[in-house]
Structure 1
């Protein structure tokens, strides 16, 4: 199986072209990277760059609006739809909030759907940022579809049926987050994103080329993630770590402030947090438990119960 060139002291990218020409090899390379780092870099993902650029342009257009305009789209219940301003999200266990503002897009549900009590309708700022709905809505669908394919490879790596995850995430409370980290004029106690783990199943990230993303190694050191342009950075979230009894780790990561020569530049990225269906019971997979690896989570929990518990910890609920 072919692979893209290895990064210097980093994670070797896996070519998504192998998904169709050598699926077993792709599955092994991807799963091995997740098992080692909790992260993987996927090159040649095939999501059209021009459409990604349009979505990013819409995000930049929105974030450039006056604060009073953006606040029109801040919902009474924060965190899951619309705009979240600066000074809100704080990494679990941290005293200082992150230096970022963001926009959330979630899954559209039909009237009467059983999840509508906790998955509200999206809001769209097209009156102030024309084309936002079309461009950003498209990116949500593209990353959701890619997440399904990544989970196919993970399922095979875990020794499960290739389509095991399809029914577990088909209506999940998955979130596309458009992130804006502004320029950082001086040193201070706040950083762009404090050290944390993701709550969800897997996260698919576009826009990691701008330096700052770091992953905590097992020895406590920090590994910078600087992927080739146009790559996807994907990581395991706490829900999948729990399901697999830590066979796939949810690794601590952060976004540090830029070096002095880059302080005048903003950073934009678009993580897609893929979630289980709200009523999916996260119960340790039997083939991830043995005498050497006893079940860490003997009491199962639904995906939504787990999500709400964690959102409260980071001040988004």
Structure 2
């Protein structure tokens, strides 16, 4: 149901084909709230290195991982979160037409920001814990930022806005990179839990990379309360989600999504009642904190609008 788009068309020499690609990109975003991209600007070697580094970190003993802990509050969104620390379900009913059950998330994660962020510093593993971690993800963050800007330019063109409209609202790199590990889990646990509860992303666009385990589901059509599987194209495919800020600017639907029990799962090592562990990497593109969320298309309906920073703070409260 969800086809892949080839982002290399954006860089082709045929301007007509480029514009057709941008329109197709926006068409999928309008219909589904996300799009599957191949041949994007994040090199396969960088993705592979990031996944391997993430896997090795999460394999460390818990006491080693806890040497770079996420603060007990929502801000700054940095460092390692152990199982049960984050409560995405607390905001899972936001913007949904149907109330979702409150479920326990079964995951651990690590949050990273820009090294140029003047408001929040990164929390890195101390020297000697895993020294390859910081340089790997400092580099990967920069690569994803450049890819995000290109995708935002393509979206602007597809919306018939000036090409730089969205890019210029992301100059300060207020973005976040999240590594997530979902452990192997008994299928029976999904009666009262989920790998991550249904939610929309807070920012502009999310670049999602995932392994082939499966379990990602999107609300289709938007607002229906019905979730459909999104087949994984492997870790080199990039799924681009519309976030709440882009929805407010453009009227595109921010996609409500979750990670749940894969419908087709063979179990782990001959144990059909156990779902395999899963890894994903998400780059959350966020506007500059001072950027107004006044609509970029159509007429404004209010005298004043919140800033992206104010909106992010409202959404994130209660997750920790």
Structure 2 equivalent of residue 312 of structure 1: 317
Query: Over residues 93-142 of structure 1, what are the superposed CA-to-partner deviations in whole Å (9 max), with x where a residue is unaligned?
Result: 453331111001101127xx4xx2xx233424552123111212221111
Q: Which runs of 5+ in 2 are unaligned?
A: 94-100, 269-273
Change (3 A) 1:264 1:253: closer
Structure 1 position 25, deviation (Å): 1.6
Structure 1 equivalent of residue 283 of structure 2: 272
Instruction: Give the secondary-structure state (helix, strand or coil) at the position aligned to 1:281.
Output: coil
Change (3 A) 1:175 1:269: same
**2:215 alignment partner, one of 189, 212, 215:** 212
Q: Distance in 1 between matches of 2:148 and 2:104?
A: 29
8 Å Cα contact 2:205/2:241 also seen in 1: yes
**Residue 22 of structure 2 corresponds to residue 43 of structure 1:** no
**Residue 94 of structure 2 corresponds to residue 88 of structure 1:** no
**Which residues of 2 match residues 48-67 of structure 1 at below 5 A?**
48-67=43-62
Q: Distance in 2 between matches of 1:82 and 1:307?
A: 18
Q: TM-score, normalised by structure 2?
A: 0.85
Q: Distance in 2 between matches of 1:120 and 1:46?
A: 26
Q: Distance in 1 between matches of 2:315 and 2:28?
A: 26
**1:196 alignment partner, one of 196, 199, 218:** 199
Instruction: Give the secondary-structure state (helix, strand or coil) at the position aligned to 2:179.
Output: strand
Change (3 A) 1:58 1:185: same
Instruction: Give the secondary-structure state (helix, strand or coil) at the position aligned to 2:193.
Output: coil
Structure 2 equivalent of residue 104 of structure 1: 111
Q: Distance in 2 between matches of 1:140 and 1:25?
A: 29
Instruction: Give the secondary-structure state (helix, strand or coil) at the position aligned to 1:203.
Output: strand
Structure 1 position 208, deviation (Å): 5.1
8 Å Cα contact 2:114/2:138 also seen in 1: no
Q: Distance in 2 between matches of 1:138 and 1:167?
A: 22
Change (3 A) 1:26 1:57: same
Q: Distance in 2 between matches of 1:242 and 1:120?
A: 28
**2:4 alignment partner, one of 9, 13, 20:** 13
Query: Over residues 176-224 of structure 1, what are the superposed CA-to-partner deviations in whole Å (9 max), with x where a residue is unaligned?
Result: 0000000012412111011111111100001153210000112443221
Q: Which runs of 5+ in 1 are unaligned?
A: 1-9
Q: TM-score, normalised by structure 1?
A: 0.86
8 Å Cα contact 2:210/2:232 also seen in 1: no
8 Å Cα contact 1:210/1:267 also seen in 2: yes
**Which residues of 2 match residues 1-317 of structure 1 at below 5 A?**
10-21=1-12, 22-79=17-74, 80-90=77-87, 91=89, 92=91, 93=93, 95-109=102-116, 113=118, 116=119, 119-125=120-126, 127-188=128-189, 189-207=192-210, 209-218=212-221, 219-229=224-234, 230-244=236-250, 247-258=251-262, 259=265, 261=267, 263-285=274-296, 287-289=297-299, 295=301, 299-313=304-318, 315-316=319-320
Structure 1 position 167, deviation (Å): 2.1
Q: Distance in 1 between matches of 2:240 and 2:21?
A: 14
Change (3 A) 1:303 1:70: same
Change (3 A) 1:155 1:203: same
Q: Distance in 2 between matches of 1:67 and 1:300?
A: 43
Q: Distance in 2 between matches of 1:134 and 1:227?
A: 28
Q: Distance in 1 between matches of 2:45 and 2:279?
A: 16
The RMSD of aligned alpha carbons is 2.0
Q: Distance in 2 between matches of 1:226 and 1:77?
A: 35
Structure 1 equivalent of residue 97 of structure 2: none
